[in-house]
Amino acid sequence: MQAGKPILYSYFRSSCSWRVRIALALKGIDYETIPVNLIKDQGQQFSEEFQALNPMKQVPALKIDGITISQSLAIIEFLEETRPTPRLLPKDPKKRAQVRMISDTIASGIQPLQNLSVLKQVGQENQLAWAQKVIHTGFNALEQILRNTAGKYCVGDEVSMADLCLVPQVANAERFKVDLTPYPTISRINKTLLALEAFQVSHPCRQPDTPPELRA
Amino acid sequence: MQAGKPILYSYFRSSCSWRVRIALALKGIDYETIPVNLIKDQGQQFSEEFQALNPMKQVPALKIDGITISQSLAIIEFLEETRPTPRLLPKDPKKRAQVRMISDTIASGIQPLQNLSVLKQVGQENQLAWAQKVIHTGFNALEQILRNTAGKYCVGDEVSMADLCLVPQVANAERFKVDLTPYPTISRINKTLLALEAFQVSHPCRQPDTPPELRA
């Protein structure tokens, strides 16, 4: 198996792809992007070629070290184990548990319920209300959790995997016009993180597949 | 903080609670169960007392070593880091990535879309079709992934976190009357795992809160 640059299958607006892009940026890993347009051609993730890479027909997927990994958190944990610097999980097992708890709250408890395939099933006229309800329920919990765990970032003062999940989820919330006033801790951490370079270069408005009208 | 027995907040039929019960059984960790009935009293997970423990209002939650952790995979990873024997993640980072990829496929890609709170929103008359569709989509992917990773179990011949996710998800599939014929690999691994003691003592039909008519 030839060791070339890692290849990230990504969609500019996918919040799960963004999580991985932030990890790659923070760890300074050079990679190539292959865009998978979730809208065009009735969804390029449904192509036979892509299904062979990720049978779940979802982005992201990362080709690296001779394997292909799907599921954003599995990818980030692999990067953490094979490229440990800078670390995205704290040393202390209890803090690591907090990071994973927050990450999973977003990755299992919020995002899957407001992703494209679910919203399609919910029907056009109900999409916005559905997504807003899901995000409000999740953010109410998250705000309460973060009050106990946060320092400058989600858990203490080091950027962690939890932060990689938070920022893309807040972007989804904004896209669905969720009022963020009830979530001052989430909003404060999000703003602090967005000032960091790794969160900026990985931003949906700056990807190879970002449409010109959405570039910034 | 006094170090007593760990306390698991659990519901007998919750597939996420079952994942953690298997981990505790495999690792031989003695614990106390506090049942949280998701149906009774309009849902005991919504009580103020429980919300203070887990703001997401979901089971499981585990009180252990002076902290309370929610999210089943975060709990299992914590147990793995603090009680490493027998291990639930392989040594090799690539195999660990496969275990996490399969676990997340179930924990983020399937289970959240067919859990109680979503089915409530979908409405009584659509619940069964919705749950079946979600599980079929996920199992189609899983069957394909397992063909590449499985030995005796989901990844090779050692029981891993992926197996702890698989068996409870298959039980959900059976509850929703999903035809498992198209998934011979899933079915074979599930059957092999159900013969293990840790999967039996943790089974929904043998919990302190299992109603008498469902006991076995």
Q: Are A117 and B113 in contact (CB under 8 A)?
A: no
Picking from B78, B98, B105, the nearest residue to A93 by CB comes out as B78
User: Distance (Å, rounded) from C-alpha B181 to C-alpha A94?
Assistant: 42
Question: Based on the domain organization, do A102 and A162 belong to the same domain?
Answer: yes
pLDDT-based confidence at residue B200 (cuts at 50, 70, 90): very high
Please report whether residue A214 resides in a domain: no
Do A97 and B67 make contact, defined as CB atoms within 8 angstroms?
yes
B97 and B75 within one domain:
no
- State how far the Cα of B132 lies from the Cα of B176, in Å rounded to an integer: 6
Give the nearest chain A residue to B16 (CA atoms): A108
A78/A103 same-domain check: no
Instruction: Inform me whether the pLDDT recorded for A198 exceeds 90.
Output: yes
Task: Give chain A's domain count.
Answer: 2
- Single-letter amino acid code for the residue at B90: P
**pLDDT the model gives residue A3:** 64
CA distance A213 to chain B (A): 31
Q: Which residues of chain A lie closer than 8 angstroms to B94, CB-CB?
A: 65-67, 78
The CATH number of residue A184's host domain is: 1.20.1050.10
Give the integer Cα–Cα distance in Å for B192 and B195.
Answer: 6
What whole-number distance in Å separates Cα of residue B145 and Cα of residue A53? 10
Please name which of B21, B32, B132, B121 lies closest in space to residue B79, comparing C-alpha atoms.
Answer: B21
Q: Which domain holds residue B58?
A: 7-86
Looking at A58, A86, A114, which one is the last position of a domain?
A86
Q: Which of A86, A109, A126 is the last residue of a domain?
A: A86
| pLDDT value of residue A196 | 98
C-alpha to C-alpha distance for A22 and A208, rounded to whole angstroms: 15
Last residue of a domain, one of B86, B119, B149: B86
Looking at the complex, does the CB of residue B75 fall below 8 Å from at least one CB of chain A?
yes
Residue B204 contacts residue B171 (beta carbons within 8 Å): yes
Contact B139, B80 (CB under 8 A): no
- Tell me chain B's radius of gyration from C-alpha atoms: 17
The answer to whether A90 and B90 are in contact (CB under 8 A) is no
Residues B104, B67 share a domain: no
Chain A residues 16-55 with a CB less than 8 Å from chain B: 54-55
Least Cα separation, residue A79 to chain B (angstroms): 9
Least Cα distance to A20 among A69, A54, A91, A65 occurs for: A69
Tell the residue number behind the tokens 């599939």, with chain if given. B173
Instruction: Please compute the mean of the pLDDT values over residues B136-151 and round it to a whole number.
Output: 98
Q: Are residues B75 and B142 in the same domain?
A: no
A24 part of a folded domain:
yes
Chain B CB contacts of A66 below 8 Å? 94
Q: Does residue B185 belong to the interface with chain A, where contact is any CB pair within 8 Å?
A: no
Tell me the residue length of chain A: 216
Give tens-digit pLDDT for B72-115: 999 999 999 999 999 999 999 999 999 999 999 999 999 999 99
